[in-house]
Structure 1
């Protein structure tokens, strides 16, 4: 009887190892997570191809490839995955920025980026403190449990705009102005359309979303540039 029990335990342990190995995070997992950001349902991009991934550390990868928009135009995309999390992603023109000079000129026009990853958000928030004392006081109150931020649309819009501006500054150059138009609150997620103008030249329409925790702190979100006329 004891022999049967030992044999059963060995089989169970082997099955556990097999299951763990099957769910190990690898380059295929990183590609899947990246494509989930770039060609998700409702995205203007599809047909991912020439996708490659390079391991940069433990459960960390750089993923890149090409996608097409609804008019068949080709764009290059890249994602940075750190410890199984997509912390940054971008979609850029794959055919019009071949030389470095044009890349520099079009830096502010790169398409798409996600606000994702705790480390990225911490860095952005640390460098984007509000200059509005009243806003900072409200944030402190909501964090202490006094009142709810979800009845204060002005606070949510200002907080979302603050983090988006910092992320745009970091990704594409100094932001001259950012307008969030007709934001809509669904649960704890604020989303809508907007427009951004860069100090170095160039302006774009964009779609955005900011996901808040119960205290009104942003923990995730995204933005993507829209083509002209696709509002």
Structure 2
């Protein structure tokens, strides 16, 4: 009974932040609705992903080994087709609740990913700061002009899923570094692999973390000089911190 009361208090304490996040998700979708009634996807890159989604659906969830509609006389199918599979997956979900089409699902799919991006960005900001920081991170991300222009309804290019997986992979990696448990490490690996499957440049998150790991000692030295106006460095403490940060990568 005490555990239930504690859980209810925690939910009530976080309720304003949950409601604020819902509002941010609503705003993220609302600003992208002006193209929702488009009869088809909006550009040639979105059409490329829609075309592959149609091929996946028509061929029993498998892509052909040769893409006859790209160049001449075609070319091998790309390995990074997670986004096209995601569109088909969303279609299968939506078709249970309405008589939608794959085209309509492709038009709606960027809105789904932007909503998920807001949630992922919130968790990253919350993990690094607090609930308020999470809300600010989510709001700034979903209203970034460069993302708004490439995630309108109907623009089913990879921009929206890349934004989502970028924040999701950062959250998963930070969580693995913080918890250092097998479950969080496996979770981080799976999320990063999903990122790569959806976008060939999905190794970006791991590259950034790797670069940061090796740059950390130099950053700490510079930080110490700026804050203390001294060149005296505690190298023992510095190496201890570096070892703790880099341990999940090498051990």
Shorter chain as denominator, the TM-score bin is under 0.3
The structure richer in helix per residue is 2
* More RCO (CA 8 Å, sep 6+): 2
TM-score norm. by structure 1 comes to 0.25
TM-score norm. by structure 2 comes to 0.24
